[in-house]
Amino acid sequence: MVPERIRNVVLVGHGGAGKTSLAEALLHVAGATTRVGRVEDGTTVTDFEPEETERQISLNVAVASCEWKGHKINILDAPGYADFIGDALAALRVADMAIFVVSAVDGVEVQTEALWRAASDEHIPRVVFVNKLDRERSSFQRTLTQLSETFGKRIAPIQLPIGSETDLKGLVRVVSNRAFGYDGGFIASQIDLPSELADLVSDAHTTLIEAVVETDDAMMERYFEGEEPTRDQIIGSVHRGMLEGEIFPVLCGSASGLIGIDILADFIVEFGPNPLEHSAPPMEEGQLEVTAGGPATAYVFKTHSDPYVGRISLFRVFSGSVKVDDNLENTSRGGQGRMHNLFFMQGKDHHDAREVTTGDIAAVAKLDSLLAGDTLVTPGAGVRIKPVNFPTPVISLAVFPKSSQDEDKLSGALQKMVEEDPTLSVERRPETHETVLSGLGDAHLDVTAARINRKFGVEIDTATPTVPYRESITASTEAEGKHKKQSGGRGQFGVAFVKFAPLPRGSGFEFINATKGGSVPRQFIPAVEKGVQEALVKGPLAGYPVVDVQATLYDGKYHSVDSDEMSFRMAGILAFRAAAPNLGAIILEPIMEARIRVPEEYMGDVIGDINAKRGRVLGMDSDGHLRVVTAEVPLGEMQRYAVDLRSMTGGRGFFEMKFTRYDEMPNQEARKVIDAAREDES
């Protein structure tokens, strides 16, 4: 298929707006399927994972295609729930147009706004499809008003519904002032324009024309002289306006009722941009010319494991073409890969491909080194596309295999899950002996656990992670560490006099040898240091590592026969234990810097909650219509903040956080940590 006849559209919007149903409707109306699958029945093309059918929501971006009037339409069905926004962001990178599916019952919802901003950042043309107009309590006019209030005056209805709720009969194409009805089928036929809609259609037509002529001075001049633009001129102007982000057309219909679906397909091929009109994606290296000729450049936007063919990597060709058995260079992580198993995806099904042209979307199997965000090029092309900037994980769980025999399997499974999903992270916390899995929300982590069980046969238990507290000291003192053991034959003897002092926060550990006259032989001094460090691993208050300590070895005693490294290592351990009661030990807690984005009306609640969490507001700023609060809050108070913020703001708040430092914990809070640690020991 030549690039000019390819259309890449991503269906985005809030969960439950009907994106998967719309994908299903487009595939069926275009003849790609023989029946319309239902989300409720788990029979749709693009929701095929067991976790998706069980929850009846999309969890991954899925690709399917159909042909319409000589054009190939690649449909990317993206998740609509916040926990799975990573796949939606990846899909926006490779699409040429975003169709925002908005429920006429529920209106503009949280994820619609979040993804609108993301689409704007990707400079992708945006279209709105007002869905579910055949449902009770649906309203096109109410939804249109909401769209205009939320996204501005560039919202331009180019279709109007005929009838409402269960009496939805068809729609009017505002560009041509023609009405279309659906008499028991899913292909529209022209009907007479209902008289009661005449004024409304006339007003919408005038509004659209005025928006169109504003994009062209010559056209505007002719319009003022009484000459309206032709249909082709309107299509061309709307097309240019979409590419420049000046016009956001609004279409309407019902995915489940198959009303307006054929006309949506017409719109995609007539108004939608082709791949050669896609501006070059953000680059990390070199300059990319979007062209059908020249070296191949492809971007991997999604990987997942298939039980039959191994790892599958979905990619879009931005320039040139990719043929079977081409050797392509991975400029993101080095090495080359042979594109042997090349195919197009139709949901979970594969159709072999010999060549993937500019703008098309395909997949390759069994290249295990490929990860989402990688760039594949003809060797020597020297370009690298910048990976999508995914949100950082905000909620964590400690994970354990239910069977101790599955420790190694769990480790491997977690690594594979992180490779497939860039919005997950895994870390091993040695101080708490926990493996911590982090993601974007409760549902995200629940689904990951279910996938680990299904794909790798590992059942896991979860718990709230232990906060990695530290201990430190506030006073200086000297102590003697004496290790003496005699039980017949050669004994053990070592004495170390050590001065302990606090260091500035974040300094770690410092050891100073200040001995004179060989009171401790040179070969035993490292053993004293090792012993002190060993003792610092478990602090005197709650057993957490002790940090920011200076230990100065200033004197000692030894025996020419009984002294050895072991003796002086024990002397170092005993010196710290003897000094501990006089060091003014304290608990340190990790402090996180959080950036919280919320609508203005939630600012009071958010700031009040930060204060209740012992946080400190550092500043407030604006980001579009959102307010941004920057605050420092103890990690122990932020373990469940993703859930708290979502509840507090109705899902309209977002945040990210990063570790900044350790600070002394207030006595009252520290006592709780100490008591809990001692209770665990007893």
Fold of 3-277: Rossmann fold (3.40.50)
What's the mean pLDDT in 632-640? 95
C-beta separation of 318 from 301 below 8 A: no
DSSP 567-607: HHHHHHHHHHHHHGGGS--EEEEEEEEEEEEEEGGGHHHHH
What's the mean pLDDT in 272-290? 92
pLDDT at 682 over 70: no
pTM, entire model: 0.88
C-beta separation of 399 from 462 below 8 A: yes
Say how far apart CA 290 and CA 317 lie, in whole Å: 10
Say how far apart CA 443 and CA 441 lie, in whole Å: 6
Summarised one tens digit per residue, pLDDT across range 434-477 is 999 999 999 999 999 999 999 999 999 999 999 999 999 999 99
Q: How confident is the model at residue 488 (pLDDT cuts 50, 70, 90)?
A: low
Summarised one tens digit per residue, pLDDT across range 647-663 is 999 888 989 999 999 99
Q: How confident is the model at residue 165 (pLDDT cuts 50, 70, 90)?
A: very high
Beta strands 336-338 and 395-401, pairing class: unpaired
For residue 586, which of 538, 542, 637 has the smallest C-alpha distance? 542
Q: What per-residue confidence (pLDDT) applies to 92?
A: 97
The architecture of the domain spanning 587-681 is 2-Layer Sandwich (3.30)
C-beta separation of 30 from 66 below 8 A: yes
Distance of CA 131 to CAs 27, 160, 251, 368, 652, Å?
16, 12, 9, 40, 22
Summarised one tens digit per residue, pLDDT across range 414-425 is 999 999 999 999
Summarised one tens digit per residue, pLDDT across range 316-369 is 999 999 999 999 999 999 999 999 999 999 999 999 999 999 999 999 998 988
pLDDT at 562 over 70: yes
Q: What per-residue confidence (pLDDT) applies to 626?
A: 83
Report, in angstroms and rounded to the nearest whole number, the Rg of the chain calculated over CA atoms.
Answer: 32
Say how far apart CA 510 and CA 503 lie, in whole Å: 8
Q: What per-residue confidence (pLDDT) applies to 162?
A: 96
Domain coordinates of the chain in residue numbers? 3-277, 283-385, 403-466, 471-584, 587-681
Helix (H, G, I), strand (E, B) or coil at 287: coil
Close Cβ partners of 618 (under 8 Å, ≥ 6 residues apart): 593, 630, 631, 632
Q: Tokens 């012992």 — which residue?
A: 614
Chain centre distance of CA 345: 23
Distance of CA 596 to CAs 600, 627, 628, Å?
12, 8, 6
Q: What per-residue confidence (pLDDT) applies to 385?
A: 97
Close Cβ partners of 345 (under 8 Å, ≥ 6 residues apart): 62, 63, 64, 312, 314, 351, 361, 362, 363
Packing angle of the helix pair 231-243, 198-213 (nearest 10 deg): 60
Identical fold between 3-277 and 471-584: no
The CATH code that applies to domain 471-584 is 3.30.230.10
Homologous superfamily in CATH for domain 403-466: Elongation Factor G (Translational Gtpase), domain 3 (3.30.70.870)
Q: How confident is the model at residue 208 (pLDDT cuts 50, 70, 90)?
A: confident
Sequence letter at residue 659: F
Close Cβ partners of 638 (under 8 Å, ≥ 6 residues apart): 592, 594, 613, 657
Domain 283-385 has CATH 2.40.30.10: yes
What's the mean pLDDT in 105-114? 91
Summarised one tens digit per residue, pLDDT across range 588-612 is 999 999 999 998 999 999 999 999 9
What's the mean pLDDT in 534-545? 95
For residue 455, which of 304, 314, 345, 350 has the smallest C-alpha distance? 304
Say how far apart CA 651 and CA 642 lie, in whole Å: 10
C-beta separation of 330 from 376 below 8 A: yes
Return the HEC string of 467-504: CCCEEECCCCEEEEEEEEECCCCCCEEEEEEEEEEECC
pLDDT at 404 over 90: no
pLDDT at 72 over 70: yes
More confident residue, 380 or 680: 380
Q: What per-residue confidence (pLDDT) applies to 294?
A: 85
Structure tokens that stand for 314 in this block: 């979905």
Q: How confident is the model at residue 489 (pLDDT cuts 50, 70, 90)?
A: low
Summarised one tens digit per residue, pLDDT across range 22-58 is 999 999 999 999 999 999 889 999 999 999 999 999 9
C-beta separation of 489 from 584 below 8 A: no
Phi, psi values for residue 130, rounded to 5°:
-80, 110
State percent of the chain over pLDDT 90: 79
What's the mean pLDDT in 381-405? 93
